[in-house]
Structure 1
């Protein structure tokens, strides 16, 4: 009998999490051909989410809980759950009830067809305009930097086979980026349509700062294209500066009465100075990530394991 492991990152979900678990339980009663367990990872939520997880673990033998020592982010929470899971299929979903757990059979059926990973596709997302904008920026970035197929829709609700998960958890450096790890393991990925619900309560935990950090992490985590773009921009800027200097000298020779342009000189200095600082900052970001990785900075730190063998 095959087994499904559900991985749910938890943050500010003390009221919504029990509904998500109840929905999984009800759905799995109709999928008796599978065993299942659930991994709840508390990303140092400031509300009563941890107590909710403790209560759920106490009332369910197949629910495991983990509590982070500090907030490490959704992708780190996913990595913790993936690393402890042992199902033939692993399903990741949200804790707010917006991702329909009762439609998990659609993802599993697609895996059974032979795909290695399956992402839920939403025809009508119930996120805010700001969150949707962040998703679009992230989608563009993954397409250009990570080689994501243009027709592949990426969401937080997905399922993957065991061998894909095993390859993902081999990544032990800081700054994990889930879609980058999936694309690194396989390109045999499909979409299935599912509904997207309105949030039951509260607001998304993704602020502008967190969305930008997520986007920049994907921008630099699995690709050297930013450095190549920086090289190309530097070459174009140098060529533009050379041509402008040639134009200035030629103009002076043709008409000696033309005054030397202080404004144009300052504009050129500011432009090229800014470009240099931008490129140095980008290089510094890569060097900093290498430094942090060499210092073995952890993806996450687990303070407490609940209903799990140590």
Structure 2
């Protein structure tokens, strides 16, 4: 019997976990021809998420709980779950129930037909404008300037075949953008569309800082456009400076230079200095990510792995040191 692994990154989601587990169990019942495992990755939650997951795991032997030492970010939590997944296909879904678990019923038939990747793209969303606007801008920019085949509405929920899972594990990229990485692999994918629902449980932790890092990670991982813009801006400023220098020399030659004050000089200095610092910052983003990758630190560290009924049922972490922690986690029933 083929197995489907459902990976759920968890971060301050205690209010939705019981209902999420129930809906996932209902999906598994409908998809009775497949075995299921539910992998919940607690990414350093500060609420009772881990305690709730412990209670759920005691009642359902399909549930595997991975507790990370601290918060490593949503992408790394997803990679942790993928590393521990044993299924022939892996589904990634959020814990806040904004992405309905019932999408599994649409994704699995497409996978059965041979599609290696199925993406659930949003055609509508009930999020506030402060969330919809940045997401829309990012999706447009990323599709036009990074990956042309990236779905227009973006996606966070998806199903990937074991072959794709192995590629993701092999890449072992730090500071990556997982949806972009999947599109980059080049495997053909199918799209399904859904209405992203309003959040009913808890408060989103997706603040401005995380959004900016997400934006920077995505573009530095899959586009050299920021560097090209720096080069173009540098050429433009150099050209403007050359033209202005010629104008000044001609004015000096014909004696038409008036008494100059500080205003124009300070404007030029501040603008050019600001542009230089901006370009250095962009270059620094690329250099930092290369340096971070070269240190070969693990993407995440596992504190505990919990699964019923026995420790022998728990697979070892993914063999690549960059993906798994390299630290033997404690295992509890």
**Taking structure 2 as the reference length, what is the TM-score of the superposition?**
0.87
Q: Aligned pair in 2 of structure 1 residues 110, 148: CA closer, same or farther (>3 Å)? A: farther
Q: Aligned pair in 2 of structure 1 residues 221, 266: CA closer, same or farther (>3 Å)? A: same
Q: Aligned pair in 2 of structure 1 residues 101, 265: CA closer, same or farther (>3 Å)? A: same
- d(CA) in 1 for partners of 2:203 and 2:183? 30
Q: Aligned pair in 2 of structure 1 residues 151, 254: CA closer, same or farther (>3 Å)? A: farther
1:92/1:159 contact within 8 Å kept = yes
2:15/2:202 contact within 8 Å kept = no
- d(CA) in 2 for partners of 1:275 and 1:55? 55
| Greater mean deviation of Cα atoms: 108-117 or 233-242 | 108-117
How many matched pairs? 310
Q: Aligned pair in 2 of structure 1 residues 212, 166: CA closer, same or farther (>3 Å)? A: same
2:119/2:192 contact within 8 Å kept = yes
User: What residue number does 2:159 align with?
Assistant: 159
User: What residue number does 2:247 align with?
Assistant: 247
> Cα deviations across residues 22-63 of structure 1 (Å, max 9, x unaligned)?
111112211112111111000100000001111111111111
Structure 1 counterpart SS, 2:293: helix
Structure 2 counterpart SS, 1:123: strand
Q: Could you list the structure 1 runs, at least 4 aligned residues long, displaced by more than 4 angstroms after superposition.
A: none
Shift of 1:141: 3.6
| Greater mean deviation of Cα atoms: 151-160 or 23-32 | 151-160
- d(CA) in 1 for partners of 2:79 and 2:104? 20
Shift of 1:261: 5.4
User: What residue number does 1:68 align with?
Assistant: 68
2:11/2:45 contact within 8 Å kept = yes
**1:125-136 map, 5 Å:** 125-136=125-136
Structure 1 gap ranges (5+): none
Shift of 1:222: 3.0
- d(CA) in 1 for partners of 2:176 and 2:287? 17
- d(CA) in 2 for partners of 1:205 and 1:292? 25
User: What residue number does 1:41 align with?
Assistant: 41
User: What residue number does 1:88 align with?
Assistant: 88
Shift of 1:122: 2.6
User: What residue number does 1:111 align with?
Assistant: 111
